[in-house]
Every structure is written in C-alpha cells, then in structure tokens.
C-alpha cells in the first residue's frame, strides 16, 4: 500500500504537520516520497504588463518586478523543500523534490497523475490561513479532484 506518496507543501504550519505525517507513512510502508512546491505566477502575471522594475544593488541594473518575485518564490520553494529533505533524512527516508509553476491545485493534481501517486498528503490550511474557513481553496480543490486519496492534515 502507498508505494508512492506525494507531499504538497507551502511551508505553512499545517503543511509542516503534513510533512511529518508523510515521512511517518513513508517509513511505515517503505514508500517512495516526493515533495512538491508550486510557484503561483498569478501575482507576478498581474504586474507583468506594467513593466515595473526593481533595482539590483550588486550591479546597478534593474530587473522586471515579476521576474524578481518569481526568483524570490523559487528561492523560498528551495528552502522549504530543503527543510523537508533534512527532516526526512534524519528519519532515514529519501525524498525526491520538485518545483512546478502554475495554479497550485492544478499542478498538485497533474503531478499526482504524471507520477502515479497513490496518496497525496497536504495541510488543511496554507499561508493565507483564514480562520473562518475550515479548509483552504487548494486543499479543497485537490481533495475533490485528485486521481487518488487525499490525506488532509489539520494544523
Ligand atoms: N504553492 C503550493 N505548493 C505546494 N503546496 C501547496 C501550495 N499552496 C498550498 N499548498 C498545500 O495546500 C495546503 C492548504 O493550503 P491552501 O492554499 O488551500 O490554504 P490557504 O493558503 O489557507 O488558503 P487559500 O490559498 O485558499 O487562500 C497547504 O498546507 C499545502 O499542503
Ligand atoms: Mg494558499
């Protein structure tokens, strides 16, 4: 059971609990574990047409703002996935990591389809974490449309 687990993480408190849970399951079932972070280009896309730039201190030039944001999100994703890798290695578990770009829910579902995952593990809330909502929109969409069971971990 659970030969392949897909862990979706945005580094939020409930995603971090989901990380621990996914590592535990992988340990128990000897599963392969993949951790995924999705860069959501929605914010940067909105600003792209305005052609605003950000100064780059090191070489006195500028960089388009949307590129700057995407680079920052890429760095964030690498940090989050690096932390998961470290945590898993301490438990003797190997993790494959991946960063995709696009709508988070759609990319999580696509990754699960492409890699034949048998379960998706994710948090109930993410970085926005509105207290009045029971579940975030990414968790909601993935749990309704994923090709496999989805384990949603509450904060
Ligand atoms: N960009 C992402 N990359 C990978 N996993 C994500 C991403 N965004 C959300 N998730 C996963 O989905 C879970 C629920 O987060 P979600 O985004 O649904 O809630 P939210 O941020 O509180 O609300 P919303 O995004 O709907 O405003 C997270 O704990 C994480 O496991
Ligand atoms: Mg979110």
Q: Where does the pLDDT of residue 21 fall: very low under 50, low under 70, confident under 90, or very high at 90 and above?
A: very high
pTM of the complete model:
0.94
Q: Where does the pLDDT of residue 57 fall: very low under 50, low under 70, confident under 90, or very high at 90 and above?
A: confident
Atom 29 in ligand 1: residue holding the nearest Cα:
123
Atom 30 in ligand 1: residue holding the nearest Cα:
9
Rg (CA), the chain: 17
d(CA 81, CA 86): 9
Q: How far is CA 136 from the centre of its chain?
A: 14
* pLDDT for the residue numbered 59: 83
Q: Is 127 in the pocket of ligand 1 (CB under 6 A)?
A: yes
Eight-class DSSP state of 63:
E
> Could you tell me the residue range of the domain that residue 9 belongs to?
4-153
- How crowded is the C-beta side of 68, counted as CA atoms within 13 Å? 14
Distance from the alpha carbon of residue 31 to the mean position of ligand 2, in angstroms: 27
Q: Is 97 in the pocket of ligand 1 (CB under 6 A)?
A: no
* pLDDT for the residue numbered 51: 85
Q: Is the pLDDT of residue 43 over 80?
A: no
d(CA 152, CA 135): 9
* pLDDT for the residue numbered 55: 87
Q: Is 12 in the pocket of ligand 1 (CB under 6 A)?
A: yes
What is the domain count for the chain?
1
* pLDDT for the residue numbered 14: 96
- CATH number, domain of 90, equals 3.40.50.620
The tens digit of pLDDT for each residue in 90-109 reads 999 999 999 999 999 999 99
The tens digit of pLDDT for each residue in 135-148 reads 999 999 999 999 99
d(CA 138, CA 125): 8
Q: Which atom of ligand 1 is nearest to the CA of 140?
A: 18
Q: Where does the pLDDT of residue 2 fall: very low under 50, low under 70, confident under 90, or very high at 90 and above?
A: very high
């Amino acid at each position: 059971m659970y030969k392949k687990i897909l862990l979706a993480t945005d580094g939020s408190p409930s995603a971090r609990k989901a990380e621990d849970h996914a590592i535990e399951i992988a340990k128990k079932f000897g599963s392969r574990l993949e951790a995924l972070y999705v860069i959501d280009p929605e914010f940067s896309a909105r600003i792209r047409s305005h052609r605003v730039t950000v100064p780059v201190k090191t070489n006195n030039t500028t960089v388009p703002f949307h590129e700057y944001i995407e680079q920052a999100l890429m760095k964030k994703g690498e940090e989050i996935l690096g932390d998961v890798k470290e945590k898993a290695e301490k438990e003797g578990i190997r993790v494959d990591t991946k960063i995709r770009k696009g709508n988070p829910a759609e990319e999580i579902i696509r990754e699960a389809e492409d890699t034949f995952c048998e379960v998706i593990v994710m948090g109930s809330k993410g970085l926005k974490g509105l207290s009045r909502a029971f579940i975030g929109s990414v968790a909601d969409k993935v749990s309704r449309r994923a090709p496999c069971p989805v384990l949603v971990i509450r904060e």
